[in-house]
Amino acid sequence: MTGGWVTRDAPTPEELAACIHCGLCLPGCPTYRLTGEETASPRGRLSAMSAVADGIAAVDETFEEMMSFCLQCRACEVACPSLVPFGRAMEGARVELAAQRPSPTRRARGRLLGRRGLGSRPAVALVTMLAAIGQRLRAPRWLPGRLGGALGGLRPLPVRAPSTLSDTWEPLAARVGTAALLAGCVMDPWFAGVHTASIAVLRRAGYRVEVPAGQTCCGALAAHDGAADEARALAATNRQAFAGYDLIVADSAGCGAHLKEYESWAPGGEGWADRVRDITEVVAEAIADGRLPTQPETGTPVAMQDPCHLRHAQRIIEPPRAIVHAAGYTPVEIDPLAMCCGAAGVYSVLRPETSAELGGRKAAQVTATSARIVASANPGCEMQLRSHLGPGYRVAHPVELFAEAIE
Amino acid sequence: MSLADDLAAFLGPGRVKTDPLERHVYARDGGLRTGPVEVIVHPRTTAEVVEIVRTARNHGSPVVARGAGTGLASGAVPTGPAVLVVLTRMDEIHEVDEASRTAWVGPGLINLELSQHIAPLGLHYAPDPSSQSICTIGGNVATNAGGPHCLADGTTVAHVLGIELVTVDGEVVMLGGAAPDPIGLDLRGVVVGSEGTVGVVTRVLVRLTEDAPATRTLLLAFGDTADAAATVSDTVAAGVIPAALEMMDRVMVGLIENWIHAGFPTDAAGVLLAELAGHPAAVEAEAEMLSNIAKANGALSARLAADADEAARWWKGRKGAFGAVAQRAPDYYLHDTVVPRSRLVDILGRVHEIAERHDLEVMNVFHAGDGNLHPLMPFDAAEPGTLERVQAAADEIVTASVEAGGTLSGEHGIGLEKRDLMSLVFSPVDLDAQARLREAFDPVGLFNPDKVLPAGSRCFDYGRPAPAQ
Ligand SMILES: Cc1cc2nc3c(=O)[nH]c(=O)nc-3n(C[C@H](O)[C@H](O)[C@H](O)COP(=O)(O)OP(=O)(O)OC[C@H]3O[C@@H](n4cnc5c(N)ncnc54)[C@H](O)[C@@H]3O)c2cc1C
Ligand code: SF4
Ligand code: SF4
């Protein structure tokens, strides 16, 4: 077997040449910090990609292992003074893996993460119903490891899933604009409380809120897994569904980060990325403008967990803190490096040991503080934290904390 | 049995890496070259290092130690098939002695992690290379690493009290230790800066430094780099030794501002960043003295950081400087020469002249206080002929520095990068003495062969005199 790429999504020569091998991206990389191995570092992964690009290495088992061990947390991207777009290059490498190392499981996974899985409302509703029944049967207690853990991290689910789709709400204050909310795939039925809070707070801040019909799963998980066709199809559907809106709001950090990067999956003209905002950006701005009230400080600490796709991919750091503060709480820092909690989309299912080790570390950072509430703006992180922290801790989206405080 | 099999016999099969792609990934450090790695191991204990060294020796395979691989002199890159011993898993903080302000640490410990760990005690580890967020204490010892704060506190050698070393015979020896004046020859100095050529460092006793009660950071802008350089000389001459004194030129400042908006003046030809540390009254007085010296030398402005945040932003900008250069071109060549402070102005002029003649861009960021220059030349190695021009300019810059009474390397080491320039500073007799010293530790050339000393250093290499140099 010889090296080389076979797809148009492959890492580009420019992306790879930008790396000058300085190593400044290593400290924040969770897999490097767990192993101390260059092959598990961002610099090592880029070097392996270059080897394939140069035809000295093949997309073989070793290459696959190096790439799939990566959590796609993008901490390396923030640390890089040479501005290497690591997240994009890794998405490209995953597409290559799907093309050059196809397997029945990978194909099945691609379908699950694509149009007929996460992109299908009936499919998601069915899974939700099964999970809800499982919860009622106290399945987390007796189900084997992974599945039990995942179920244990979920919020209590209703058997009949709610949906915000196609709804419209009028503003409750002087109107400043219309916000189109991304309903998401599992966000809608599994994290309905976050949508409810986002809608309530947006209305108070003067937005008319619409949840456009015709939208679907954002496609982030498909893109991260190299299922390029599925990712492209989902992105194209959403670009159409949201075409007429100037402000598109996501209240799941992973979805927002991916939406902002649609240009590489469903190109369609300039300006799209500027129209997409994470809910924390919109709410923090409204607080700063005085469009939303600020509560007096109560001194109750809230541990701030920075989802990778909020802090590293979207570079959003201050807004969730400002929101938690305005809700009357005292934000508590837990990790200056903001290292990944190990949830990382489907990673927790594919590489449970690494995921659990990182989840344990993150939980320990929380328990080292006096906080009993954790703010996290991403559903995957929320589940991971809940299952690793166990009872006695509350994990909520910062906007939920804020919505309760101003009720 | 093969070398890999023998290593796997005691490390376990999963811990010996031989896959071609893995070897490729480990074939380069922070420098520009690559080399043939045969086997990669990540020992966890000194005992494992001992076994690795013995096994490698039995197979006649050289041993190359590696920390985080941020070295810029290709020191961790083998020149022939070798066992790469990566020490990142030996990253324990074994013991902190608060009373005597020392700590025993593993060689793989990250420099900054040590300082963060002891911060609650009001202590820090003084050597602070710009790579401190990731480089290892073992790598720092091996390269005698310096950093902005080494002006007042000295480089790594001043902070290493004891070293546990695995020798060529697979013995574990302890050099130095907690006693203020260890008996016998003090061999620590041989190991510090030896770049992995005398053995593998497996434990280090480091000196911890008390945090200064007060620090002030001063930003000075100049219309001419010569004025900045004169300020540096005058400051030291006046008896003020800042904790750090760093200089950046206009191009460098522009690139840093592009990246993180540190708040440096982009219209100045040269910027000096000074940190003063000590007792509050002394710090205030020194800050004033330094501002006055700068103004006497025509400074455009002198500004004290308003608070710790502003100072931190300035330092972050300074420490990310090397990486920011890549915005300009995919590759860069970083020099590390040292010149007497009084010759700074001349040398800066020479550096620009040399770069211009070779049609290269050059930018400067350096430890001005100790005359350690880091001219940087961004280039694109993919353009035919560029690498040769860069190498030629590099050799000229080093030669110019040496002619001005300086030396080859301030802190990044010799490795392969500057090995063949050693004869510029050392006579054949000097080189022979160094080669003998190394031979005393490693008569068979097991550890990082071909590094630091050029071939023929030993006057009687291969049993006949080396050609006259
Ligand atoms: C962005 C950037 C900024 C930098 N700034 C500075 C600076 O300000 N000052 C400075 O001095 N350097 C600087 N450097 C260079 C580099 O970081 C230092 O040389 C550092 O000490 C290397 O540490 P490391 O752990 O990466 O070692 P490596 O690069 O892995 O190895 C360096 C050398 O040490 C040897 N070695 C490593 N560990 C051991 C051991 N346990 N026993 C025996 N030998 C060993 C290796 O064989 C090699 O010869 C910088 C590098 C970069 C990329
Ligand atoms: S920080 Fe950027 S340039 Fe440096 S090694 Fe990492 S990816 Fe490459
Ligand atoms: S994305 Fe995260 S896990 Fe992957 S290389 Fe970067 S820092 Fe490491």
The pLDDT tens digits of the residues spanning B122-136 come to 999 999 998 999 999
Element housing B77 (H / E): none
Give the model's pLDDT for residue B405. Answer: 85
| Cα–ligand 2 centroid distance for A80 (angstroms) | 5
Asked if the structure places residue A64 within a domain, the reply is yes
CA B242 to chain centre: 20
**B360 three-class SS:** coil
Among B25, B26, B89, beta carbon nearest to A36? B89
Token digits for B72?
A: 């810029």
**How confident is the model at residue A56, as a pLDDT?**
93
Q: What pLDDT is recorded for position B25?
A: 96
Contacts of A349-358 with CB under 8 Å at 24 or more apart are: A349/A146, A349/A150, A350/A68, A351/A68, A351/A69, A352/A145, A352/A146, A354/A31, A354/A34, A354/A69, A354/A71, A355/A384, A356/A149, A356/A388, A357/A34, A358/A30, A358/A34, A358/A71
Highest averaged pLDDT of the listed ranges A77-81, B30-34, B299-303, B434-438: B299-303
> How confident is the model at residue A143, as a pLDDT?
61
Domain annotation covers residue A324: yes
- A237 part of a folded domain: no
- Is 50 exceeded by the pLDDT of residue B467? no
How many domains would you assign to chain A?
2
Which ligand lies nearest the alpha carbon of B69?
A: 1
pLDDT digits over A29-58, tens only?
999 999 999 999 999 999 999 999 999 999
How many angstroms separate the alpha carbon of residue A318 from the centre of ligand 3? 22
Sheet holding B16-17, edge to edge: B16-17, B37-41, B82-86, B63-66
Quick check: is A17 in a domain? yes
Do the chains contact at A20 and B69, CB–CB below 8 Å?
A: no
Q: Which residues of B touch A46 (CB under 8 A)?
A: none
Predicted confidence band of residue A187 (pLDDT cuts 50, 70, 90) = confident
Mean pLDDT in residue range A1-15: 89
B464, pLDDT greater than 50: no
Answer whether A37 sits within 8 Å of B326, measured CB to CB.
Answer: no
pLDDT of residue A115: 79
pLDDT at A333: 96
Question: What is the predicted pLDDT for the residue at A150?
Answer: 63
Residue B372 per-residue DSSP state: B
pLDDT at A136: 74
Look at phi and psi of residue B421 and say left if phi exceeds 0, alpha if psi is from -120 to 50, else beta. alpha
Is residue B329 less than 8 Å (CB to CB) from chain A?
Answer: no
- Asked if the model's pLDDT at residue B469 lies above 60, the reply is no
Contacts for A155 with CB less than 8 Å, ≥ 6 apart: A190, A191, A193
Chain A residues with a Cβ under 8 Å from any Cβ in chain B: 17-18, 20-24, 26-27, 36-39, 44, 47-48, 51, 56-57, 60, 62-63, 66, 80-83
Note whether B68 contacts A: Cβ–Cβ < 8 A: yes
For domain B328-414, is the CATH number 3.40.630.30? Answer: no
| pLDDT in the model for residue B225 | 85
Summarize pLDDT for B111-125 with one digit per residue, the tens. 999 999 999 999 999
Task: Give the pLDDT score at A89.
Answer: 97
A159 within some domain: no
Q: Which residue has the higher pLDDT, A129 or B290?
A: B290
Q: Under CATH, to which class is B93-210 assigned?
A: alpha beta
Return the SS3 of B378: strand
CA-based R_g, chain B, Å: 23
**Smallest CA–CA separation between A406 and chain B, in Å?**
33
What is the arithmetic mean of pLDDT over B297-319?
Answer: 91
Sheet with A177-181: strands ordered across: A168-169, A207-210, A177-181, A248-250, A276-278
Signed CA dihedral, A70, A44, A32, B168: sign only:
positive
Angstrom distance (rounded) from CA B357 to CA A54: 33
Give me the CATH number covering residue A372.
3.40.50
The boundaries of the domain holding residue A399 are 294-406
**Collapsed DSSP state (helix, strand, coil) of residue B375:** strand
* C-alpha distances in Å from residue B112, one per residue of A31, A124, B108, B130, B138: 19, 46, 12, 10, 13
Tell me which architecture the domain covering B216-258+269-308 has in CATH.
Answer: 2-Layer Sandwich (3.30)
Spacing, Cα B323 to ligand 2 middle (Å): 8
Question: Are the Cβ atoms of A37 and B68 closer than 8 angstroms?
Answer: no
| Cα(B376)–Cα(B359) distance, integer angstroms | 14
SS3 B347: helix
The DSSP secondary structure of B233-255, one letter per residue, reads HHHHHTT---SEEEEEEHHHHHH
Q: Pick the closest to residue A73 from A194, A253, A322 (CA basis).
A: A253
In a domain, A260, yes or no: no
CA B463 – ligand 2 centroid, Å: 46
Q: What is the least distance, in Å, from the CA of B377 to any CA of chain A? A: 13
Which pLDDT band, with edges at 50, 70 and 90, does B465 fall under? very low
If pLDDT is split at 50, 70 and 90, which confidence band does B463 have?
very low
How far is Cα A181 from Cα A194, in angstroms, rounded to an integer?
Answer: 12
Q: Which ligand is nearest to the CA of B71?
A: 1
Q: Do B112 and A27 touch (CB under 8 A)?
A: yes
The answer to whether B93-210 and B328-414 have equal CATH topology is: no
Domain ranges of chain B: 93-210, 216-258+269-308, 328-414
Q: Retrieve residue A214's tokens.
A: 């015709």
Distance A139 CA to ligand 3 centre (A): 33
A85 C-alpha to center of ligand 2: Å? 10
Mean pLDDT of B419-432: 82
Of A99-103, B58-62, B145-149, the one with minimum mean pLDDT is: B145-149
A80 lines ligand 2 (CB under 6 A): yes
In chain B, the percentage of residues whose pLDDT exceeds 70 is 96
B30 closest CB neighbour out of A22, A60, A83: A22
And the tokens for B37?
């790695």
How near does any CA of chain B get to the CA of A109, in Å? 27
Give the DSSP H/E element, type plus range, for residue B389: helix B386-403
Position B461 scores a pLDDT of 43
Determine the average pLDDT of the residues in B274-289. Answer: 92
A85 lines ligand 2 (CB under 6 A): no
Encoding tokens for residue A210? 């619409």
Across the interface, of B17, B134, B323, the residue whose CB is closest to A20 is B323
Q: Which of A38, A82, A90, A312 to mutate to test the pocket of ligand 2 (most atoms within 8 A of CB)?
A: A82
Kindly report the protein residue whose alpha carbon is nearest to atom 4 of ligand 2.
A22
Whether A73 is in the pocket of ligand 3, judged by its Cβ within 6 Å, is yes
ipTM of the complex: 0.89
Ligand 1 site-directed mutation target among B130, B160, B418, most atoms within 8 Å of CB: B130
What's the pLDDT band for A316 if we cut at 50, 70, 90?
A: very high
Nearest ligand to residue A80 Cα? 2
Q: How far is CA B307 from the centre of its chain?
A: 30
Q: B68–A26: do the CB atoms touch at under 8 Å?
A: yes
**Secondary structure in 3-state letters for chain A:** CCCCCCCCCCCCHHHHHCCCCCCCCCCCCHHHHHHCCHHHCHHHHHHHHHHHHCCCCCCCHHHHHHHHCCCCCCHHHHHCCCCCCHHHHHHHHHHHHHHHCCCHHHHHHHHHCCCCCCCCHHHHHHHHHHHHHHHHCCHHHHCCHHHHHHHHHCCCCCCCCCCCCCCEECCCCCCCEEEEECCCCCHHHHCHHHHHHHHHHHHHCCEEEECCCCCCCCCHHHHHCCCHHHHHHHHHHHHHHCCCCCCEEECCHHHHHHHHCHHHCCCCCCCHHHHEEEHHHHHHHHHHHCCCCCCCCCCCEEEEECCHHHHCCCCCCHHHHHHHHHCCCEEEECCCCCCCCCCCCCHHHHCHHHHHHHHHHHHHHHHCCCCCEEEECCHHHHHHHHHHHCCCCEEECHHHHHHHHHC
**How big is chain A, counted in residues?**
407
Ligand 2 midpoint to CA B35 (Å): 20
Report the residue from A21, A44, A81 with minimal CB separation from B30.
Answer: A21
Average pLDDT over residues B161-190: 87
Q: Is residue A204 part of a domain?
A: no
Q: Of A77, A102, A127, at which residue does a domain stop? A: A102
Residue A269 has pLDDT above 90, yes or no: no
* Conformation bin of residue A291: beta by default, left when phi > 0, alpha when psi is -120 to 50: alpha
Which one of B72, B134, B377 would you mutate to disrupt binding with A, by most A Cβ within 10 Å of its Cβ? B134
Q: Among A1, A43, A82, which would you mutate to test the B interface (most chain B Cβ atoms within 10 Å of its Cβ)?
A: A82
How sure is the predictor about B457, in pLDDT bands with cuts at 50, 70 and 90? confident
Residue-wise pLDDT tens digits, A349-391: 888 899 999 999 999 999 999 999 999 999 999 999 999 998 8
Q: Give contacts of A38 with chain B, Cβ < 8 Å.
A: 25-26, 69, 86
**pLDDT value of position B466:** 34
- Degrees to nearest 5, angle at CA B403 with B398 and B409: 40
Mean pLDDT estimate for chain B: 88
Q: Which pLDDT band, with edges at 50, 70 and 90, does A149 fall under? A: low
- Residue A323 belongs to some domain of the structure: yes
Q: Whose CA is nearest to atom 15 of ligand 1?
A: B71
Q: Is the CB of B375 under 6 A from ligand 1?
A: no
Of residues B63, B89, B74, the one with CA closest to residue B27: B74
User: Is B462 a residue whose pLDDT tops 60?
Assistant: no
**Subunit contact A39:B17, Cβ cutoff 8 A:** yes
Q: What is the per-residue pLDDT for B343?
A: 83
List the single range of B212-221, B285-294, B325-334, B357-366 with lowest mean pLDDT.
B325-334
Residue B417 touches chain A, beta carbons under 8 Å: no
Q: What is the CATH number of the domain that holds A57?
A: 1.10.1060.10
Q: Using CB atoms and an 8 Å cut-off, which of residues 31-50 of chain B contact chain A? A: 31, 42
Residues of B in contact with A17 (CB under 8 A): 330, 382
pLDDT at B429 over 70: yes
Distance (Å) from CA B202 to ligand 1 centroid: 15
> Tell me, what's the pLDDT at A140?
59
Which residues sit opposite A180 in a β-bridge? A210, A248
Q: How many CB atoms lie within 10 A of CB A152?
A: 17
pLDDT at B16 over 50: yes
